[in-house]
Amino acid sequence: MSDVLIYHNPACGTSRNTLALLRDKGVEPKVVEYLKTGWTKPQLEDLLRLLGVSARDILRVRGTQAHELGLTDPAASDAALIAAMILDPVLVERPIVVTPKGAAVCRPAELALTLI
């Protein structure tokens, strides 16, 4: 299934497990190492639309500067969160899997099975 995409961080155990799970099921996804490629505003907006969530819902707090940057403040707008995610891609929760069936932040990894 070449129409599967995973936004992947190889340093993340859950991301590695999700990729392995997809491959174990015979799916070879397109792998995007988003920490290397970064994000664009249209890309994040499209991804949020596919996920059906706000930027706050995919904000990664653990192991990031999110709190120090004021991004955990409920008053922080989606526009501010997206701008921060573009500047520091690690602020996006991972892994995110996109298939013709939909998209999900696959935490736990088994959520990916609902998309294939």
Secondary structure letter of residue 94 according to DSSP: S
Catalytic residue check, 106 = no
Among 115, 95, 91, 99, residue whose Cα is nearest residue 107:
95
Which value, in Å, is the radius of gyration of the alpha carbons in the chain? 14
- CA–centroid distance for 25 within its chain: 21
* Catalytically annotated residue among 4, 6, 12, 96: 12
Structure-block tokens of residue 2: 């070449």
Question: Annotated active-site positions, please?
Answer: 12
